[in-house]
Amino acid sequence: MPNETTRGSLNMETETNTLLDSRVPSGPLEDKWENHKFSMKLVNPNNKRKFDVIVVGTGLAGASAAASLGELGYKVKAFTFHDSPRRAHSIAAQGGINAAKNYKNDGDSVYRLFYDTIKGGDYRSREANVHRLAEVSTNIIDQATAQGVPFAREYGGLLDNRSFGGAQVSRTFYARGQTGQQLLLGAYSAMMRQVSAGSVELHTRSELLDVVTKDGKACGIVTRDLLSGEVSAHSAHAVVLATGGYGNVYFLSTNAMMSNVTAAWRAHRRGAFFANPCYTQIHPTCIPASDDFQSKLTLMSESLRNDGRIWVPDAFDDSRPAHEIPENERDYYLETKYPAFGNLVPRDVASRNAKNVVDQGHGVGPLKNGVYLDFAAAVERDGQDAISAKYGNLFDMYESITGENPYEVPMRIYPAIHYTMGGVWVDYNLMTTIPGLYAIGEANFSDHGANRLGASALMQGLADGYFVLPYTIGDGLADQLGNPAVSTDDPVFTNAVSAIEDETAKWLSINGTRSVDYFHRELGRLVWDHIGMSRNKEGLEKAISEISALKEEFYSDVRVLGSADTLNLSLEKAGRVSDFFELAELMAHDALKREESCGGHFREEHQTPEGEAQRDDEGFAHVAAWEWNGAGSLQTRHVEQLDFENVTLTQRSYK
Among 326, 530, 300, 329, CA closest to 415: 300
With bands split at pLDDT 50, 70 and 90, how would you rate the model's confidence at 18?
confident
Q: Residue 103 in contact with residue 158, Cβ under 8 Å?
A: yes
Which residues have a Cβ under 8 Å from the Cβ of 466 and sit 6 or more positions away?
Answer: 64, 65, 67, 68, 136, 139, 140, 143
Q: Verify that 318 and 436 share a domain, yes or no.
A: no
Per-residue burial over 266-288, b = 16 or more CB atoms within 10 Å of its CB, e = otherwise: bbbbbbbbbbbbbbbbbbbbbbb
Q: Verify that 501 and 609 share a domain, yes or no.
A: yes
pTM: 0.96
Q: Verify that 572 and 587 share a domain, yes or no.
A: yes
What is the set of active-site residues? 347
Report in angstroms the alpha-carbon separations of 438 from 60, 246, 450, 464, 469.
16, 17, 21, 11, 9
Report the pLDDT averaged over residues 278-303: 92
Position 649 in a domain: no
Task: Assess whether pLDDT exceeds 50 at residue 444.
Answer: yes
With bands split at pLDDT 50, 70 and 90, how would you rate the model's confidence at 10?
low
pLDDT of residue 446: 86
pLDDT of residue 553: 98
- Compute the distance between CA of residue 514 and CA of residue 427 in angstroms, rounded to an integer: 42
pLDDT of residue 44: 96
CATH of the domain at 61: 3.50.50.60
Q: Verify that 358 and 341 share a domain, yes or no.
A: yes
- Compute the distance between CA of residue 586 and CA of residue 295 in angstroms, rounded to an integer: 24
- Domain final residue pick, 387, 417, 447: 417
Rounded to 10 degrees, the C-alpha dihedral 319/320/326/330 comes to 20
Which residues have a Cβ under 8 Å from the Cβ of 509 and sit 6 or more positions away?
Answer: none
pLDDT digits (tens, 9 = 90+) for 556-578: 999 999 999 999 999 999 999 99
Q: Verify that 573 and 496 share a domain, yes or no.
A: yes
- Domain final residue pick, 367, 382, 417: 417
Helical ranges in 535-607 per DSSP H? 537-557, 569-593
Domain count, the chain: 3
- Domain final residue pick, 417, 443, 468: 417
Task: Assess whether pLDDT exceeds 60 at residue 12.
Answer: no
pLDDT digits (tens, 9 = 90+) for 62-77: 999 999 999 999 999 9
Task: Assess whether pLDDT exceeds 60 at residue 459.
Answer: yes
CATH of the domain at 399: 3.90.700.10
Range of weakest confidence among 6-10, 337-341, 487-491, 497-501: 6-10
Residue type, 244: G
Position 394 in a domain: yes
With bands split at pLDDT 50, 70 and 90, how would you rate the model's confidence at 288?
very high
With bands split at pLDDT 50, 70 and 90, how would you rate the model's confidence at 635?
confident
Question: What average pLDDT does the chain have?
Answer: 95
Task: Assess whether pLDDT exceeds 90 at residue 264.
Answer: yes
Q: Verify that 301 and 243 share a domain, yes or no.
A: no
Q: Verify that 186 and 222 share a domain, yes or no.
A: yes
Position 16 in a domain: no
- Please report, rounded to a whole number, the percentage of residues in the chain having pLDDT higher than 70: 97
Task: Assess whether pLDDT exceeds 70 at residue 221.
Answer: yes
CATH of the domain at 586: 1.20.58.100
Q: Verify that 134 and 212 share a domain, yes or no.
A: yes
Position 333 in a domain: yes
Q: Verify that 458 and 575 share a domain, yes or no.
A: no
The 3-class secondary structure across 385-407, one letter per residue, is HHHHHHHHHHHHHHHHHHCCCCC
pLDDT of residue 177: 86
pLDDT of residue 633: 78
Residue 531 has φ and ψ, to the nearest 5°, of -130, 35
pLDDT of residue 631: 84
- Compute the distance between CA of residue 458 and CA of residue 437 in angstroms, rounded to an integer: 22
pLDDT digits (tens, 9 = 90+) for 291-318: 888 889 999 998 999 999 999 999 999 9
With bands split at pLDDT 50, 70 and 90, how would you rate the model's confidence at 14?
low
pLDDT digits (tens, 9 = 90+) for 198-216: 999 999 999 999 999 999 9
Q: Verify that 524 and 475 share a domain, yes or no.
A: no
pLDDT of residue 293: 85
pLDDT of residue 2: 44
pLDDT of residue 372: 98
Q: Verify that 320 and 380 share a domain, yes or no.
A: yes
The sheet with strand 411-420 has its strands ordered as 280-286, 411-420, 371-374, 309-313, 330-331
* 471: enclosing H helix or E strand: helix 469-477
Among 432, 401, 438, CA closest to 638: 432
pLDDT digits (tens, 9 = 90+) for 149-181: 999 999 989 999 999 999 999 999 999 889 999
Report the pLDDT averaged over residues 238-259: 97
Task: Assess whether pLDDT exceeds 80 at residue 60.
Answer: yes
pLDDT of residue 1: 53
- Compute the distance between CA of residue 348 and CA of residue 415 in angstroms, rounded to an integer: 9
Range of weakest confidence among 124-138, 212-226, 294-308, 432-446: 294-308
Which residues have a Cβ under 8 Å from the Cβ of 438 and sit 6 or more positions away?
Answer: 238, 239, 240, 241, 426, 429, 430, 431, 432, 469, 472, 473, 476
Position 361 in a domain: yes
Among 517, 545, 548, 560, CA closest to 631: 548
Position 650 in a domain: no
Task: Assess whether pLDDT exceeds 80 at residue 11.
Answer: no
State the DSSP code for 168: S
Position 29 in a domain: no
Position 653 in a domain: no
Which residues have a Cβ under 8 Å from the Cβ of 386 and sit 6 or more positions away?
Answer: none
Domain that holds residue 519: 490-641
pLDDT of residue 6: 46
CA atoms within 13 Å, Cβ hemisphere of 243: 29
Q: How far is CA 440 from the centre of its chain?
A: 10
Which residues are paired to 233 by β-bridges?
222
With bands split at pLDDT 50, 70 and 90, how would you rate the model's confidence at 9?
low
With bands split at pLDDT 50, 70 and 90, how would you rate the model's confidence at 530?
very high
Among 277, 347, 155, CA closest to 627: 277
pLDDT of residue 292: 82
Q: Verify that 313 and 381 share a domain, yes or no.
A: yes
Report the pLDDT averaged over residues 530-536: 96
